């Protein structure tokens, strides 16, 4: 751990994968950051309330609360914090919500330190981004719809399952799988 009064920019890495945190922390320390890791929203908030980070990487799926909640709370603490949302379960819905809540960028895992550095540096959109000419698969459309309904219900799986006329365990199984 680096001293809090270090002149290097502070980076908060929030991910429940301890190994991923350790590897990313080493890589980002080599790139000049003063790094702190947290594995839950609560740990991250406790740290951020005493030492607001200049940069943060936040995993979408954390134990308990969603990483989206943390994006919102970090932006309330300091609107200048540059946040990159990371997820192995990328969806259009969560990407849009992360950006609306104040994330600078949204990256799908696996991701490396260079991609995160590039995301931190991006301040504008890219008009040259390639447009996918293939429609989304049926599996992907289902995933996106489930994510939208889940988000509309503040992550409540029971209510979402009822609205989708689906058994709760079936919904949990679908949410645990990567989208097609």
**How buried is 39 (Cβ within 10 angstroms: 0-12 exposed, 13-18 middle, 19+ buried)?**
middle
pTM of structure: 0.72
Cα–Cα distances in angstroms (integers) from residue 141 to residues 89, 155, 166, 170, in the given order: 14, 18, 16, 17
Burial class (CB in 10 A: 0-12, 13-18, 19+), 165: exposed
Which domains are assigned to the chain? 10-121 (3.40.50.2300), 138-176 (1.10.10.60)
Q: How far apart are CA 149 and CA 155, in angstroms?
A: 9
> Other CB atoms closer than 10 Å to residue 42's CB: what's the count?
14
Nearest residue to 71 via CA among 62, 61, 84: 84
Which among 55, 114, 116, 118 is positioned nearest to 83, based on CA atoms?
55
Q: Over its length of 180 residues, how does the chain's per-residue pLDDT go in tens digits? A: 444 457 899 999 999 999 999 999 999 999 999 999 999 999 999 999 999 999 999 998 888 888 999 999 999 999 999 999 998 777 778 888 888 888 999 888 888 899 999 999 876 666 565 666 676 677 777 877 888 888 778 788 899 899 999 998 988 888 877 665
As given in the structure block, the two tokens for residue 12 are: 């908060």
* pLDDT for the residue numbered 151: 77
pLDDT for residue 9:
94
């Amino acid at each position: 751990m680096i001293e809090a009064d270090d002149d290097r920019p502070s980076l908060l890495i929030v991910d429940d994968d301890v190994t991923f945190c350790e590897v990313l922390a080493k890589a980002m320390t080599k790139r000049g950051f003063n790094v702190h890791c947290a594995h839950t929203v609560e740990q991250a908030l406790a740290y951020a309330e005493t030492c607001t980070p200049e940069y943060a990487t936040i995993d979408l799926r954390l134990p308990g609360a969603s990483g989206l909640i943390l994006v919102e709370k970090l932006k309330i603490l300091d609107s200048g914090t540059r946040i990159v949302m990371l997820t192995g379960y990328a969806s259009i819905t969560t990407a849009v919500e992360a950006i609306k809540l104040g994330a600078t960028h949204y990256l799908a895992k696996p991701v490396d330190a260079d991609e995160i550095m590039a995301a931190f540096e991006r301040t504008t959109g890219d008009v040259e981004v390639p447009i996918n000419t293939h429609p989304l698969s049926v599996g992907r459309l289902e995933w996106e719809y489930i994510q939208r309904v889940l988000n509309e219900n503040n992550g409540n799986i029971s209510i979402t399952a009822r609205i989708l006329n689906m058994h709760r365990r079936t919904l949990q199984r679908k949410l645990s799988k990567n989208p097609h």
